[in-house]
Amino acid sequence: MFKVPDHQVAGHRASQGVLGPLIDDSGRFYKPLQSDERGSNEVVFYTQFSSNKEIPNHIRKFFSVYYDTQLIEASDGSGLLPHLVLEDITSTRTNPSIMDVKIGSRTWYPQASEDYITKCLMKDRQTTSLPLGFRISGLQIYGSEQSGYWKPDKKRVLGFTAEDVRVVLRKFVSSNSSDDFGTEPDCAFAAAVYGGSTGILAQLLKLKAWFEDQTIYHFYSCSVLMVYEKEPILNGKSPSAAVKLVDFAHVLDGQGVIDHNFLGGLCSLIKFISEILKDQPHDLTKDNSGSEIACANDCNKI
């Protein structure tokens, strides 16, 4: 009944002896609770968030639906373990291209232990978190039935430089992305995926507006997941581009202050993506679903 997700791009992957998330056929995603306070923190967050009436509906849709916490057989064979039962974001998608972007130049918070702070600070300095305000944690880009996915391994991804990130954000929406870093990405799907009134940039801008105002939560070490499907675009249909927030083991009470760390990183990601859209020739200002892309307006707005 439970199986290992096909489209996981970051975090530990379930296997014999390794604890990781599972999915079922009904579109649910089972995330094992980490045994320390991170597990309980994430349950507290989902429970509290689900019933929080201050969250506008247009923001709630950036979060996976939370169903329950359930005891199921752990993937590592260690017996029954509590799992968060969430919506499986990829269950309705065929060959999704996915990118996991950890937001914030700082993944640690003042109240954490000195050991934890030292470890996070080192990783923030070794990756692009510090210079860019975000780092890519994992990704897969669908090429074609023949080429399959381009899915660089974890070590490779964490070694991305600022320039690599710029290229990978272009490759993510290109038709020639199945090889490695050799070819100049053509950004053929930039307008359809990043642009448009329902594209990724428009969604990130909605999230940004909320983060400029909300003082309820501070999201440390949380990721923006960007997902879309390439094949529908080739058939003149919508790529179903979606932005989701994931990983809430380090969410803190905002105590009346905005999450300036997340907001700064989010604005940096937005700037990278709007620059890709700006570079597109003007005759591409219509996406394949026929609606105007958001670039012209949004580039002024941001």
Closest listed residue to residue 232, CA positions, set 117, 52, 97, 135: 97
Q: Could you tell me where the beta strands, DSSP code E, fall in 25-93?
A: 28-32, 66-73, 80-87
User: Under the criterion CB under 8 A, does residue 237 sit at the interface with its own copies?
Assistant: no
Q: Which amino acid is at 112?
A: A
Distances (CA, A) of 132 to 10, 44, 76: 19, 30, 36
Considering only the stretches 49-57, 65-73, 254-262, 281-289, report the one whose residues sit in contact with its own copies under the rule CB under 8 A.
Answer: 254-262
User: Under the criterion CB under 8 A, does residue 297 sit at the interface with its own copies?
Assistant: no
Which alpha helices (DSSP H) does 70-132 contain, by range? 114-126, 129-132
- Rounded-to-integer distance, Cα 49 and Cα 63, Å: 10
Q: How many residues bind its own copies (CB under 8 A)?
A: 27
| Binding-site member from 141, 263, 276, 295 for its own copies (CB under 8 A) | 263
User: Under the criterion CB under 8 A, does residue 105 sit at the interface with its own copies?
Assistant: yes
Give bridge partners of residue 70 from the DSSP assignment: 83
| Binding-site member from 174, 203, 268, 288 for its own copies (CB under 8 A) | 268
| Binding-site member from 161, 271, 279, 297 for its own copies (CB under 8 A) | 271
Give bridge partners of residue 110 from the DSSP assignment: none
Site string for its own copies, 191-230 (x = CB under 8 A): ---------------------xx-x---------------
Measured from the CB of residue 206, what is the shortest distance to its own copies in angstroms? 14
User: Under the criterion CB under 8 A, does residue 125 sit at the interface with its own copies?
Assistant: yes
Q: Which is nearer to its own copies, 242 or 269 (by Cβ)?
A: 269
Q: Which is nearer to its own copies, 159 or 236 (by Cβ)?
A: 159
Q: Which of residues 159-178 bind its own copies (CB under 8 A)?
A: 162, 166
Q: Which is nearer to its own copies, 7 or 106 (by Cβ)?
A: 106
The Cα angle at residue 213 between residues 131 and 227, in degrees rounded to 5 = 60
DSSP 122-147: HHHHHSSHHHHSEEEEEEEEEEETTT
| 3-class state of residue 207 by DSSP | helix
Closest listed residue to residue 61, CA positions, set 215, 243, 212, 248: 243
Greatest extent of the chain over all pairs of C-alpha atoms, in Å: 58
Which two structure tokens, joined as six digits, stand for 234?
A: 């080739």
| Binding-site member from 84, 132, 193, 227 for its own copies (CB under 8 A) | 132
User: Under the criterion CB under 8 A, does residue 281 sit at the interface with its own copies?
Assistant: no
User: Under the criterion CB under 8 A, does residue 116 sit at the interface with its own copies?
Assistant: no
- Rounded-to-integer distance, Cα 100 and Cα 145, Å: 23
Question: What are the two backbone dihedrals, phi and then psi, of residue 173, each rounded to the nearest 5 degrees?
Answer: -120, 35
- Rounded-to-integer distance, Cα 1 and Cα 25, Å: 7
User: Under the criterion CB under 8 A, does residue 257 sit at the interface with its own copies?
Assistant: yes
Considering only the stretches 11-19, 44-52, 233-241, 255-263, report the one whose residues sit in contact with its own copies under the rule CB under 8 A.
Answer: 255-263
User: Under the criterion CB under 8 A, does residue 11 sit at the interface with its own copies?
Assistant: no
Measured from the CB of residue 257, what is the shortest distance to its own copies in angstroms? 6
User: Under the criterion CB under 8 A, does residue 278 sit at the interface with its own copies?
Assistant: no
Q: Could you tell me where the beta strands, DSSP code E, fall in the chain?
A: 22-23, 28-32, 66-73, 80-87, 96-103, 134-144, 148-150, 217-219, 223-229, 242-246, 251-253
| Binding-site member from 39, 96, 185, 265 for its own copies (CB under 8 A) | 265
Residues of this chain that bind its own copies (CB under 8 A): 105-106, 110, 125, 130-133, 162, 166, 212-213, 215, 255-258, 260-261, 263-265, 267-268, 270-271, 302
